[in-house]
């Protein structure tokens, strides 16, 4: 039976980060990943000369954020550079810059109120943001303005950060995401695509001698005398003092460990945690370059936010979809063959939406993309369409964009704890601890885990 200081389950950003931090501090670490490749929700694949990210990625704090800080801290040479970008917002077919283009579209008093809200948020200390953890963004914004167009616009910004609308998103988490992004002023797309980040983490694991087991799901966490002591994977048992799971808090508690090892209140609490919205994605590999000037677009509907989501759940396709379109090949020529283009697009829908509603939503998303990229469909060399049910098969959790949602009551000081009640068992990733946008939330969770329980 092999022995390690720590075993990490899952090679998403959270698991890779935790493994790297521990290994660079001299721990003997093993990392198990059920799939044949690393990255989880940030994974990439190669097809016909294209490097295709699983999702649509903007790294909020670029080289100043935790993804790169973690590599630097561990002494991993990465050479990753970011092309700075801010998504161009659009609504009703017109480009739109937040907040300045609100002027004239909403009454002056509401415009002034938004400017005050942004100024207030940017002026908050990290500590002060926690005062708003259990308030929704909608409630927080109502304190400034109730104008529905302002709400739709700010909700979409929060959505890009955390993949949930204003009536669920924690105002404290929104404030942290907005102020950290503004302070760093570095949001961008990584050179070489998201795979460059994964490669850097994988190089780091190799540099520090982490034993990696890909295509090897952990079937069970072994608990003895109330302490997590090892895992069962591929019919072998491996032992360690610390078991660090990046496999999702709900899956870890119910499937990998078993509810019988926790008290009923904790099991009920974990079951009650809600996931973020889920993604519908299309990836177009084109035989030519259409609209070379476009890099990143974020479209939002002016329909009031709740009404918009109620329509989706009722099987209606809103007239204008909330959308996020990224053209990785406009940032980095290496992700598409010369003269060709990669266009990725996504829209998010509430978890639990009926499968049969999703194809029409995806077609509406592609129609919307066609308005920016005329001839998109006819120039497609291949198209990959991902529905929530596909994403759920790949990622679990109904295909959630983030994982455990950063909603009021589940973010900041109310985030599920990294340390579980079972001694020696920890949860990392976008599921426990941490704060920030998507991949950075997961990296922050790994850093928080290491600094609190290992260093």
Q: Which of 8, 229, 281, 342 binds ligand FAD (CB under 6 A)?
A: 281
Site string for ligand FAD, 398-427 (x = CB under 6 A): ---xxx------------------------
Contact stretch for ligand FAD (CB under 6 A) within 85-93, 99-107, 371-379, 434-442: 434-442
35 is a site residue for ligand FAD (CB under 6 A): yes
- The count of other CB atoms within 10 Å of the CB of residue 94 is 9
Q: Output the CA torsion 147→165→439→329 (10° steps).
A: -70
Q: Which of 166, 332, 440, 448 binds ligand FAD (CB under 6 A)?
A: 440
212 is a site residue for ligand FAD (CB under 6 A): no
Q: Give the shortest CB-366-to-ligand FAD separation in angstroms.
A: 16
Distance, CA of 353 to CA of 361 (rounded, Å)? 11
7 is a site residue for ligand FAD (CB under 6 A): no
Six-digit token string for 319 = 């007239």
- Count the residues in the chain: 455
Classify 93 as helix, strand or coil. coil
Q: Give the shortest CB-339-to-ligand FAD separation in angstroms.
A: 26
Q: Give the shortest CB-143-to-ligand FAD separation in angstroms.
A: 28
Contact stretch for ligand FAD (CB under 6 A) within 56-64, 181-189, 236-244, 304-312: 56-64
Q: Which of 14, 328, 388, 424 binds ligand FAD (CB under 6 A)?
A: 14
Q: Give the shortest CB-403-to-ligand FAD separation in angstroms.
A: 5
247 is a site residue for ligand FAD (CB under 6 A): yes
Contact stretch for ligand FAD (CB under 6 A) within 30-38, 103-111, 285-293, 304-312: 30-38
8 A C-beta contact, residue 310 and residue 292: no
Q: Which of 90, 91, 136, 279 binds ligand FAD (CB under 6 A)?
A: 279
8 A C-beta contact, residue 322 and residue 381: no
- The count of other CB atoms within 10 Å of the CB of residue 25 is 14
437 is a site residue for ligand FAD (CB under 6 A): yes
Q: Give the shortest CB-332-to-ligand FAD separation in angstroms.
A: 15
Classify 350 as helix, strand or coil. coil
Six-digit token string for 405 = 């949602």
Q: Which of 121, 362, 430, 432 binds ligand FAD (CB under 6 A)?
A: 430
Q: What are the residues whose beta carbons fall under 8 Å from the beta carbon of 84, sequence distance 6 or more?
A: 62, 186, 187, 188
Q: Give the shortest CB-146-to-ligand FAD separation in angstroms.
A: 29
157 is a site residue for ligand FAD (CB under 6 A): no
Q: Give the shortest CB-337-to-ligand FAD separation in angstroms.
A: 24
8 A C-beta contact, residue 346 and residue 328: no
Residue from 432, 454, 348 nearest 12 by CA:
432
Q: Which is nearer to ligand FAD, 62 or 111 (CB)?
A: 62
Cis bond leading into 332, ω under 30°? Answer: no
DSSP label at residue 224: E
Which alpha helices (DSSP H) does 40-107 contain, by range? 66-73
Distance, CA of 219 to CA of 382 (rounded, Å)? 36
Tell me which residues touch ligand FAD (CB under 6 A). Answer: 9-15, 32-35, 40-42, 55-59, 217-218, 246-247, 279, 281, 346, 395, 401-403, 429-431, 437-442
């Amino acid at each position: 039976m092999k022995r390690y200081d720590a075993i990490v389950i899952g090679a998403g950003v959270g698991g890779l980060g935790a493994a790297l931090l521990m290994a660079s501090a001299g721990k003997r670490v093993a990392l198990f990943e059920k799939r044949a490749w690393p990255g989880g929700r940030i994974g990439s694949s190669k097809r016909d000369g294209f490097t295709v990210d699983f999702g649509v990625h903007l790294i909020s704090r670029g080289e100043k954020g935790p993804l790169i800080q973690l590599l630097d801290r561990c002494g991993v040479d990465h050479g990753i550079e970011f092309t700075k970008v801010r998504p161009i917002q659009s609504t009703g077919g017109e480009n739109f810059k937040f907040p300045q283009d609100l002027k004239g579209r909403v009454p002056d008093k509401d415009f002034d109120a938004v400017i005050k809200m942004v100024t207030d948020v940017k002026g908050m200390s990290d500590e002060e943001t926690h005062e708003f953890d259990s308030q929704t963004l909608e409630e927080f914004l109502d304190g400034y303005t109730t104008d529905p167009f302002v709400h739709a616009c700010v909700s979409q910004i929060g959505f890009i950060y955390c993949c949930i609308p204003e009536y669920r998103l924690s105002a404290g988490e929104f404030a942290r995401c907005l102020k950290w992004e503004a302070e760093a002023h570095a949001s961008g797309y990584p050179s070489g695509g998201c795979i460059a980040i994964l490669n850097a983490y994988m190089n780091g694991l190799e540099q520090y001698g982490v034993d990696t087991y890909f295509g090897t799901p952990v079937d069970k966490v072994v608990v003895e005398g109330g302490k997590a002591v090892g895992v069962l994977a591929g019919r072998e048992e491996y032992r360690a003092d610390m078991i660090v799971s990046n496999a999702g808090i709900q899956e870890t508690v119910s499937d990998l460990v078993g509810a019988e090892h926790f008290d009923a209140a904790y099991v009920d609490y974990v079951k009650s945690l809600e996931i973020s919205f889920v993604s519908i994605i299309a990836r177009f590999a084109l035989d030519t370059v259409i609209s070379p000037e476009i890099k990143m677009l974020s479209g939002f509907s002016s329909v009031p936010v709740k009404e918009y989501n109620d329509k989706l759940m009722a099987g209606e396709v809103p007239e204008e979809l909330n959308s996020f379109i990224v053209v990785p090949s406009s940032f980095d020529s290496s992700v598409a063959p010369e003269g060709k283009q990669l266009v990725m697009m996504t829209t998010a829908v509430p978890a639990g939406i009926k499968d049969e509603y999703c194809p029409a939503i995806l077609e509406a998303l592609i129609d919307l993309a066609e308005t920016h990229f005329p001839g998109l469909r006819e120039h497609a060399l291949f198209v990959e369409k991902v529905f929530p049910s596909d994403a759920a098969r790949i990622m679990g959790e109904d295909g959630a964009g983030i994982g455990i949602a950063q909603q009021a009551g589940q973010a900041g000081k109310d985030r599920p704890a990294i340390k579980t009640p079972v001694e020696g068992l920890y949860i990392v990733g976008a599921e426990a601890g941490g704060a920030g946008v998507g991949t950075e939330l997961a990296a922050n969770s790994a850093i928080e885990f290491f600094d609190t329980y290992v260093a």
